[in-house]
Amino acid sequence: MQGRLALFDLDNTLLAGDSDHGWGQFMVAQGLVDGANYGAKNDAFYQDYLAGDLDMVAYAEFALTPLAQYSATELKTIHQKFMQTTVIPMIAPKTQALLKKHRDAGDVLVIVTATSDFITAPIAEYLAIPHLIATPTECVDGRYTGKLSGAPCFKAGKIDKLNAWMALNGYNIEGACFYSDSHNDLPLLALVDEPIVVDPDPKLEAHALANGWQVMSLR
């Protein structure tokens, strides 16, 4: 018998920060992109995300475009440095204990994130979370093109991606829990049997309190 699904948003949930925005800041800090111009656009997109107004396709292609100039080997080295300098220090203090609790219960752990699979696959591996549903990046002949290879895993799109993954892997949503910080995740939070709100933004916190959802902190 398969365990129930324990679904996790990544940024500002398992991480006490945003890996997507952090990637842009890292690229600027490392001199891999035009600092002033790229940094300002990265910050503007992040504000759109917080407001719930993000054009996810436009943002993803902005974030992914610099990848096209590097080989897979170069990107692996760059990402390893990103993990050490930016992501690992961002892991929320209580994240590992929460993940252990779900592993011990026999649950199936899945990250469901709007951030690209390029950025998040090594993070999922580091956290030992075996399943990742993310915004898909296009890779041709071993090189990233800077484009998406499918619809973003964002807002109601998370449900579409999750449904496709469950159908492919033989899981169902019954009894599932989902942890998130963001009002952008209200569609999936409303779908699961156990919505759990983590260090929420004000809009999500108000919705959670009005609906009797569990609110917790990993920080």
Cα separation, 50 vs 10, whole angstroms: 15
Cα separation, 42 vs 28, whole angstroms: 10
Cα separation, 20 vs 50, whole angstroms: 13
Write the single-letter amino acid at 16. Answer: A
Cα separation, 203 vs 142, whole angstroms: 41
Can 193 be counted among the known catalytic residues?
no
Can 107 be counted among the known catalytic residues?
no
Q: H or E element: which one contains 216?
A: strand 214-216
As annotated, the active-site residues are 9, 11
